[in-house]
């Protein structure tokens, strides 16, 4: 719910009232998504101040860093985009045209996009404000999959070829049906349309002068490690937009400094992911903010950042489903939320509860729902039935991710395992070593860590569960599940696809290949002067402020 400075959207008590922490997104949606009134008449002008991050460089095909991709949402357009604004419930991603005027799907594997006419690139050399054409789109697709070092290219693994049918028509052909294709095209992590001339002139797009797009703002200057300024693109193809003239981005890598700057009114949005403030800081600051910035707006929504316990399900003892269920029953999810998230959060099935359209509430998981309860006595019983009445030794590998929350969470997981007799020892790995080994399934016993916060259920399911996938960390090979995973990728009808996804989540709740930790609830915070804005998950900061205005 969007409210003028009400610090709690869901309190711990409310969360418990709504089902002991088993908060499904569907259940919280009515609370969280009261529409803010469309404020007044749009005003042109003003400067939006944000705390963002210093990008490693500016080539979106040569880094997966959110620091680069977020900046591109200000300067570049995509074929399609996620709708933004107060009318969109956080955790949902309705698609609308960006550069595409319309699109169609003549066959299961063919998509045709009709481009808007008169779209102009930023007036910077070597592109100099020329009109965008289908060749630019074709070029971008081809560079995306061909560029060595583009670690995101798996997102278009199904791509066969792209044709520029005429100046304003692009035809995309896939090797096999992949119903999430439009979601991928809309995702700010993937396909910002790029000009060929910039790549040819600069060799790649790493330099700031190569940041030339068709988006609402132009990169005016970049100050390494310090910040960047974006100015309004006068030739932006959406008439009248953007309303905001300048966007000032400050690099601020110190939390104390960020907090102080926010309290002093130097940032218009919360300083963390998606314009949020983490709950621990929020609890400390809310009274001060109430005095210093009484017009702040807040909106709470479930995070798509989800951690899980994973284990070698291809080997004993974890190949026994009773052991995996015992681990889930031993996991005090509410205890974890109490310890690291001020007691506020949501329980996750295999698809994060944040995705309202696709996630099944835990209490609707059928037989598998019982394993989300905290029941150490039953966990011990299941272990005994599996032949481990005295538990067994185990190792939990993890990386800290530089986060004290992660370290606290691991300590709790170890405690919960020990409480039921699993003698788990911590194996802390440096981040790079963790990613190179454990994250890719190269470990012996158990591990605990976060997943990438994707915006679609397919990425949360296919990689971790399909046999042969590098991200199949638990080494799952379940033919029934694999069939459903492939089926959901080929089911175009949304309702039917949702049913398949629900079935997958029910199946996985029973199997507990991965034991999912709860997610926190983000607190989106923004200055009261910023109108027609609403936060959402994902990198699309620029998209969310394109039609917003400042009423200082």
Within 8 A by CB and 6+ apart from 480, the residues are: 507
Residues β-bridged to residue 115 = 100
- Are 94 and 111 spatial neighbours (Cβ–Cβ below 8 Å)? no
Q: Give yes or no for residue 1 binding another protein (CB under 8 A).
A: no
Which of 431, 444, 492, 499 touches another protein by CB under 8 A? 431
Q: Which two tokens stand for residue 547?
A: 């039609």
CB-based burial label for 146 (10 Å; 0-12, 13-18, 19+): exposed
- Are 390 and 439 spatial neighbours (Cβ–Cβ below 8 Å)? no
Q: Which residue has the tokens 């960390």?
A: 473
> Looking at beta carbons only, is 26 or 64 nearer to another protein?
64
Q: Give yes or no for residue 200 binding another protein (CB under 8 A).
A: no
* First-residue to last-residue Cα distance in the chain: 23
Q: Give yes or no for residue 411 binding another protein (CB under 8 A).
A: no
Distance, CA of 85 to CA of 75 (rounded, Å)? 19
> Where in 271-290 is the site for another protein (CB under 8 A)?
288
Task: Compute the least distance from the CB of residue 250 to another protein, in Å.
Answer: 5
Q: Give yes or no for residue 471 binding another protein (CB under 8 A).
A: yes
3-state secondary structure (DSSP) of residue 468: coil
- Are 79 and 96 spatial neighbours (Cβ–Cβ below 8 Å)? no
Which of 429, 491, 511, 512 touches another protein by CB under 8 A? 429
> Looking at beta carbons only, is 113 or 460 nearer to another protein?
460
State the greatest distance between any 2 C-alpha atoms of the chain, in Å, as a whole number. 73
| Among candidate residues 512, 163, 508, the one with its CA nearest the CA of residue 311 | 512
> Looking at beta carbons only, is 227 or 361 nearer to another protein?
227
Q: Give yes or no for residue 251 binding another protein (CB under 8 A).
A: yes
Q: Give yes or no for residue 467 binding another protein (CB under 8 A).
A: no
Q: Which letter does DSSP use for residue 268 in this model?
A: S
Task: Compute the least distance from the CB of residue 302 to another protein, in Å.
Answer: 22
Q: Give yes or no for residue 428 binding another protein (CB under 8 A).
A: no
Q: Give yes or no for residue 529 binding another protein (CB under 8 A).
A: no
> Where in 438-457 is the site for another protein (CB under 8 A)?
439, 452
Q: Give yes or no for residue 113 binding another protein (CB under 8 A).
A: no
Binding mask 205-234 for another protein (x = CB under 8 A): -x----------------xxxxx-------
Q: Give yes or no for residue 254 binding another protein (CB under 8 A).
A: yes
Q: Give yes or no for residue 64 binding another protein (CB under 8 A).
A: yes
3-state secondary structure (DSSP) of residue 13: helix
Measured in degrees and rounded to the nearest 5, phi and psi for residue 131 equal -80, 145
The residue ranges that bind another protein (CB under 8 A) are 54, 56-57, 63-64, 148-152, 154, 204, 206, 223-227, 250-254, 256-257, 259-261, 263-266, 288, 292, 429-436, 439, 452, 470-471
């Amino acid at each position: 719910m969007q409210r003028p400075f009400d610090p709690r959207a869901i309190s711990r008590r409310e969360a418990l009232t709504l089902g002991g922490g088993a908060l499904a997104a569907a259940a919280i949606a009515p609370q969280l998504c009261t529409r803010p009134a469309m404020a007044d008449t749009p005003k042109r002008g003003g400067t939006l101040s944000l705390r963002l991050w210093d990008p490693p460089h500016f080539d979106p095909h040569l880094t997966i860093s959110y620091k680069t991709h977020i900046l591109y949402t200000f300067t570049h357009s995509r074929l399609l985009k996620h709708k933004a604004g107060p009318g969109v419930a956080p955790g949902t991603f309705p698609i609308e045209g960006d550069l595409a005027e319309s699109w169609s799907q003549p066959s299961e594997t063919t998509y045709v996009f009709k481009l808007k006419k008169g779209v102009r690139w930023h007036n910077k050399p070597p592109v100099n404000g020329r009109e965008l054409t289908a060749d630019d789109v074709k070029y971008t697709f081809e560079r995306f999959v061909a560029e060595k070092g583009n670690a995101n290219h798996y997102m278009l693994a199904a791509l066969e070829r792209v044709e520029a049918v005429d100046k304003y028509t692009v035809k995309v052909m896939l090797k096999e049906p992949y119903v999430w294709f439009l979601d991928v095209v809309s995702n700010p992590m993937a396909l910002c349309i790029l000009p060929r001339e910039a790549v040819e002139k600069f060799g790649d797009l790493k330099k700031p002068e190569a940041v030339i797009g068709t988006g609402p703002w132009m990169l005016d200057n970049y100050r390494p490690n310090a910040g960047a300024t974006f100015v309004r693109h006068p030739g932006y193809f959406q008439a009248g937009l953007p309303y905001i003239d300048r966007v000032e981005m400050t690099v601020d890598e110190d939390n104390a400094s960020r907090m102080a700057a926010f309290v002093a009114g130097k940032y218009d949005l919360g300083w963390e992911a998606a314009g949020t403030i983490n709950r621990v800081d929020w609890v400390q600051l809310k009274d001060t903010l109430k005095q210093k910035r009484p017009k702040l707006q807040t909106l709470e929504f479930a995070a798509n950042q989800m951690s899980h316990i994973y284990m070698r399900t291809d080997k004993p003892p974890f190949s026994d489903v009773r052991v995996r269920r015992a681990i889930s029953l031993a996991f005090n999810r509410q205890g974890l939320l109490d310890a690291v998230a001020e007691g506020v959060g949501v329980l996750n099935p295999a698809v994060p509860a944040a995705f309202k359209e696709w996630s099944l509430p835990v209490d609707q998981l059928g037989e598998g729902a019982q394993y989300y309860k905290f029941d150490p006595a039953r966990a011990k019983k299941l272990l005994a039935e599996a032949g481990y009445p005295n538990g067994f030794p185990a190792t939990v590998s993890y990386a800290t991710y530089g986060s004290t929350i992660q370290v606290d969470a691991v300590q709790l997981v170890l405690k919960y395992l020990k409480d039921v007799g699993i003698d788990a020892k911590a194996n802390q790995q440096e981040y790079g070593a963790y990613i190179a080994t454990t994250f890719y399934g190269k470990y012996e016993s158990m591990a605990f860590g976060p997943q990438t916060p994707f915006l679609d259920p397919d990425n949360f399911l296919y990689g971790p569960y399909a046999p042969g996938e590098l991200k199949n960390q638990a080494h799952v090979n379940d033919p029934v599940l694999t069939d459903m995973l492939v089926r959901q990728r080929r089911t175009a009808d949304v309702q039917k696809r949702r049913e398949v996804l629900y079935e997958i989540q029910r199946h996985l709740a029973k199997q507990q290949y991965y034991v999912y930790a709860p997610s926190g609830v983000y607190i989106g915070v923004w200055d009261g002067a910023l109108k027609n804005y609403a936060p959402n998950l994902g990198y699309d900061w620029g998209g969310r402020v394109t039609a917003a205005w400042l009423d200082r």
